[in-house]
Amino acid sequence: MPSIIFFFEVHQPYRLNKALHSKLLEKAFRGRIDINDVEEAIFDNELNKYVLNRVADRCYIPATKIIIENIEMFKNTSKPFKVTYSISGVLLEQALKWRRDIIDVFRKAVDTGMVELAEQTYYHSIVAFMPNYGFDELREQILEHKKIVKELFDYEPVSIENTEFTYNNDIACFLNSLGYKAMLTEGVDWVLGWRSPNYVYKARDCDIRVLTRNYRLSDDIGFRFSDKRWDQYPLTADKYASWLASTPGDLVFIAIDYETFGEHHWPETGIYEFLRWLPREISRHGNLDFTTPREAISRYPPRDIYDVPSWSTISWADERDISAWLGNELQWEAFKIISELRPYVKAVDNIDIIKLWKKLTISDHYYYMATKFGSIGEVHAYFSPYKNAAIAHGLLMESLGLLISIIAEEIRRNPNKILSKLELPWNKAFYFYLPTGEFTGISARSIPEFLLSLEKAPLESILFHLNRGDFENWIRNVFFLDQVADEIMKIRTEAEAIESKLEKLKKIISMLVTY
């Protein structure tokens, strides 16, 4: 008896403001800007509120009411109807601000006992792929999501997806170490080979179970439902139920965007009626029932290993890789900057700045920068609020520039407190070289470490860097401390003994880490 898992992804991002005000930019570069001004300028909350209201009225409210109606209809039968939701934290956050009835209707669904909630990152982000800090930030965003799900629904998930079903062995085992029992991802042909997606698998090197989406049957609803050019149009509930009944395997994992019901396919396409009648048509087939990921991993043993090396990460988008978000230079440039800002944000330790930075990790910002053609390019264009990838890139880079200005101002206000905690990524560290170009083996990723390095580095190396202006450039460009850099420049140009210059340099640096 194959079991049907219906999984619905529920997410809306914070879209960037296409009219990012030039006056605000000017104030930022002069160091006179407030974090609340930046938040208001960066995000187009009029548009965000409008989209949320539209999708709530077209999808979230009516579709969930249909789900609840079917749950109640089959609740006391031998085949109760069950579904699984994965709701991003930023969607819940927007609902709390602008449409609390979204929370209410989802809560009513969860309270039936027939709904599983899956974990994901709070910000629906791609932070797992950040160099140096990926899993640390991934843990933080998962815990933040866990907290809001507990607060709003009194629910603790055991299944989890990484954003957009991105998956590799390392991510799976990391999530297993956090206690999750099942991970949800795409049934990719080149990973499965001759095998079917319709079974439970196990991750390589750890015990977490892996459920793989049947993308053909999922996309029949998600993408092809209202396509009149499709040779199976129109897709009716009884036709689709018959396809499920003839599908071999232990389970059929159907995963789609929840916005499919009323937003991507408008109500006049008949999508509501399809959703309303589908559970009833499935129930007519004696070989089918409904389940959730939590139940499926208890019911069915794993058939094999799902092996995806870290260098071949998969997803449910585009070519089933991560090129939808990190497939071109525009995306990588922005992602490199947001990644490198994390240690600064953590050192500043301001909740508003941290929140702003995390909102800029939302995967949609990077998705909008894709430069693809054909049907895949059309999908990107459909979701993007901007005309093209260049505009999306420019807006995100301006937003990151504003964030950097805020961080720089915070450091200038309180350098001692912040710089004592700031540890740089390796590509921003200071490396001590000899005049011959030979590396001394000494480097510094923080101001305290730099001070220690001045004690260990050969004098000729220190003089080499001092005379070239390397110290002042590092202080200016990496720590945003122009005044301190200017003082170091004065030391370099003063006609004093080498020993005196070195002592002055150490004194200036020591002042930056005094508690």
Please give the average per-residue pLDDT across 350-364, as a whole number.
Answer: 96
For the question of residue 186 being annotated catalytic, the response is no
**Per-residue model confidence as pLDDT tens digits over 62-118:** 999 999 999 999 999 999 999 999 999 999 999 999 999 999 999 999 999 999 999
User: Looking at the predicted structure, is the pLDDT value of residue 286 above 70?
Assistant: yes
The C-alpha angle 308, 313, 318, rounded to 5 degrees, equals: 125
* Of residues 224, 290, 265, the one with CA closest to residue 81: 290
Query: What pTM was computed for the model?
Result: 0.94
Q: What is the pLDDT of residue 26?
A: 56
User: Looking at the predicted structure, is the pLDDT value of residue 36 above 80?
Assistant: no
**Per-residue model confidence as pLDDT tens digits over 359-388:** 999 999 999 999 999 999 999 899 999 989
Q: Where are the domains of the chain?
A: 3-18+34-164+208-295, 329-414, 426-511
Q: What is the pLDDT of residue 35?
A: 72
CA distance 39 to 165: 29
Q: Which fold has domain 3-18+34-164+208-295?
A: 7-stranded beta/alpha barrel (3.20.110)
* Of residues 242, 224, 241, the one with CA closest to residue 276: 241
C-beta of residue 93 within 8 angstroms of C-beta of residue 52: no
Q: What is the pLDDT of residue 405?
A: 87
* Of residues 313, 321, 338, the one with CA closest to residue 127: 338
Please spell the DSSP secondary structure of 13-53, one letter per residue. --PBPTT--HHHHHHHHTT---HHHHHHHHB-HHHHHHHHH
What are φ and ψ of residue 333, in 5° steps?
-60, -50
Q: In sequence order, which residues have a C-beta less than 8 Å from that of residue 497 and are 6 or more positions away?
A: none
User: Looking at the predicted structure, is the pLDDT value of residue 348 above 70?
Assistant: yes
Q: What is the pLDDT of residue 493?
A: 85
Integer angstrom CA distances of residue 335 from 99, 127, 147, 174: 31, 9, 26, 22
Pull the structure tokens for residue 457: 């580095």
Beta pairing class for 83-87 and 115-117 = parallel
Q: What is the pLDDT of residue 153?
A: 98
Amino acid (1-letter code) at residue 242: S
Q: Is 498 exposed, middle or buried (0-12, 13-18, 19+ CB in 10 A)?
A: exposed
pLDDT band of 499, cuts 50, 70, 90: confident
Please give the average per-residue pLDDT across 110-134, as a whole number.
Answer: 97
pLDDT band of 179, cuts 50, 70, 90: very high
CA distance 164 to 253: 15
Dihedral (CA of 85, 86, 92, 98) sign:
negative
Share of the chain above pLDDT 90, in %: 87
Annotated active-site residue in 119, 164, 259, 409: 164
Cα-Cα end-to-end distance for the chain: 67
Mean pLDDT of the chain: 94
* Of residues 298, 313, 89, the one with CA closest to residue 200: 298
Q: What is the DSSP letter of 233?
A: -
